[in-house]
Amino acid sequence: MKRFTALLLTVLAVIALLTGCSSKRPAFVGMALSDYSDKNTAAVYDEFKKLVENEDNAKALNSIAIFPKFNDGKGDNAIQSDQLDVIIEQKPDVLCIDFIDPSSAEKYLSAAAEKEIPVILFGSAPSSDIVNKYDGVILIANDKSDSAKIAKAIYDICANLGDKKEALDSTGYSFESDGHTLKIA
């Protein structure tokens, strides 16, 4: 019994250290990339990861700690579809998608909307008609060659997840008249 109590106290202490010492809420960011072997796709993820791991950025975030979960579709729509099914089931705080096949987007945008998951689209994306059907979707209108700007926009959106419903409007970026398309120059 003493061993059990000691073990339980140890486990509780570790949990307290991992969660209680920080007032920051973890923000799970699901990332579904089209193909990490593509240099522009890889650069977006790598730049985003650098921003997340930067100590100054982490200190500047008052209420959240960003934890990205990276998924590489490897250029195969079936792989990416399976990954998106799993990510959406896990209900991340935000979902970032670079579609391999934008024609499959409506299924995943609908599933994310049902679970109230904000979605950031970049790279290969569906038509604005599909994007505009769903609240909580941002389309970053820029080609992937400017990875640093895309990564920074994704980071800034994720950093403002204090209230999911308002997070996508509180980033300070300007949106086009459709309310979904974020233009970055």
In the predicted model, is pLDDT for residue 21 greater than 50?
Answer: no
Contact 168, 119 (CB under 8 A): no
Residues 6+ apart with CB under 8 A from 16: none
In the predicted model, is pLDDT for residue 41 greater than 70?
Answer: yes
What torsion do the CA atoms of 8, 13, 18, 23 make, to the nearest 10 degrees? 120
Q: For residue range 117-156, what is the model confidence (pLDDT) as tens digits?
A: 999 998 888 888 898 898 888 888 766 678 888 888 888 8
Q: For residue range 84-105, what is the model confidence (pLDDT) as tens digits?
A: 999 999 999 999 999 999 999 9
Which one is predicted more confidently, 82 or 132? 82
The correct CATH number of 24-183 out of 3.40.50.2300, 3.30.413.10, 3.40.50.20, 3.40.718.10 is 3.40.50.2300
Most confident listed range (76-90, 123-137, 169-183): 76-90
pTM, to two decimals: 0.79
Most confident listed range (10-19, 62-71, 82-91): 82-91
